[in-house]
């Protein structure tokens, strides 16, 4: 998202999806996100929320709650700790990483999807996608994806692309948002698998992974 509050709403007018990422949140940026998000809601442009590091500090929790109470979010993507925290369950977040055990994550994610009427994606070695009535697991990808910081953020942006495409090509594709998200997660993981065949260490993997995403063009 364009961070300047002076232009965030106007930028949305030329966008097909809005991705809100809490990674480097500040109070000014939060106001800018709310402004952009309200315009996106008015224009019925899908919003993806990536609640990066929510639960790691009081402020991140408050920022996420403000976004969720003022905006209609189409897709929320987080790791197990971030999704658990938003669902009101106990969560251990270290910086932006999920630590701890989450044995009830399927139920937790479904509860959040029901409460917010959104598609919820939980990223990990097994990705979960759910809405209020269905849940899907995708066991693809490669552990190197978890070693590179930012693959979660890039997944959120990819979800924005697929949500926009599903809406823009609604007649031709006839994809529900749930199906569009499932497709995005699947192809994203597949790019990770292809990259891992060529690169075996994180820095090289990062470059190769980006190239594999590019090759979908
Ligand atoms: N062990 C693994 N095996 C397969 N895929 C994985 C593994 N760990 C992570 N991934 C994939 O990496 C991507 C990012 O997931 P992750 O849970 O690491 O997100 P994150 O912690 O929010 O990332 P970041 O904060 O680094 O942006 C997802 O597409 C997920 O499927
Ligand atoms: C966007 C971003 N900012 C700090 S860490 C990060 C990626 C973690 O998901």
- Maximum distance among all Cα pairs of the chain, rounded to whole angstroms: 45
Locate the domains of the chain by residue range.
7-215
Tell me, what's the pLDDT at 102? 80
pLDDT per residue over 170-194, tens digit each?
888 889 999 999 999 999 999 999 9
Bridge partners, residue 77, by sequence:
121
Q: ipTM of the assembly?
A: 0.95
DSSP assignment letter at 135:
E
Tell me, what's the pLDDT at 173? 84
Residues 6+ apart with CB under 8 A from 80: 91, 98, 100, 102, 105, 122, 124
Tell me, what's the pLDDT at 96? 67
Tell me, what's the pLDDT at 165? 93
Give the residues of the chain that fall short of pLDDT 50.
none
> At residue 123, what are phi and psi to the nearest 5 degrees?
-90, 140
Tell me, what's the pLDDT at 142? 98
DSSP assignment letter at 145:
H
Bridge partners, residue 75, by sequence:
48, 119
Structure tokens at 41: 């809601």
Calpha distance 12→19 (Å, rounded): 10
Calpha distance 209→186 (Å, rounded): 14
- Region of 201 please: left (phi>0), alpha (psi -120 to 50) or beta: beta
Tell me, what's the pLDDT at 90? 75
Among 85, 146, 157, which residue has the most ligand 1 atoms within 8 Å of its CB, making it the best to mutate? 146
DSSP line for 146-166: HHSTTHHHHHHHHHHHHHHHH
Instruction: Quote the pTM value.
Output: 0.95
Among 141, 187, 189, which residue has the most ligand 1 atoms within 8 Å of its CB, making it the best to mutate? 141
DSSP assignment letter at 139:
-
Tell me, what's the pLDDT at 213? 97
Calpha distance 16→165 (Å, rounded): 8
At the top level of CATH, the class of 7-215 is alpha beta
Decide: 79 in ligand 1 pocket, CB within 6 A.
yes
DSSP line for 52-110: TTTTSSHHHHHHHHHHHHHS--SEEEEEHHHHHHHTTS--EEETTEEES--TTHHHHHH
Tell me, what's the pLDDT at 174? 86
Ligand nearest to C-alpha 140: 1
């Amino acid at each position: 998202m364009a961070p300047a509050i002076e232009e965030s709403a106007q930028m949305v007018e030329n966008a097909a999806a809005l991705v809100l990422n809490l990674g480097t949140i500040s109070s000014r940026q939060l106001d800018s996100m709310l402004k952009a998000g309200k315009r996106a809601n008015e224009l019925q442009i899908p919003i993806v929320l990536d609640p990066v590091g929510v639960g790691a500090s009081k402020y991140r929790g408050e920022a996420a709650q403000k976004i969720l109470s003022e905006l209609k979010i189409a897709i929320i993507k987080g790791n197990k700790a971030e999704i658990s925290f938003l669902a009101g369950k106990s969560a251990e977040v270290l910086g932006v990483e999920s630590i701890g055990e989450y044995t009830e994550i399927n139920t937790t994610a479904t509860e959040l999807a029901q409460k917010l009427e959104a598609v919820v994606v939980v990223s990990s070695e097994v990705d979960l996608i759910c809405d209020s009535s269905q849940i899907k697991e995708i066991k693809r990808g490669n552990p190197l994806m978890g070693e590179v910081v930012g693959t979660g953020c890039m997944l959120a942006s990819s979800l924005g692309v697929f949500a926009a495409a599903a809406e823009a090509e609604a007649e031709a594709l006839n994809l529900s948002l749930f199906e569009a998200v499932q497709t995005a997660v699947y192809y994203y993981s597949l790019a990770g698998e292809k990259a891992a065949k060529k690169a075996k260490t994180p820095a090289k993997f990062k470059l190769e992974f980006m190239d594999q995403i590019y090759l979908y063009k």
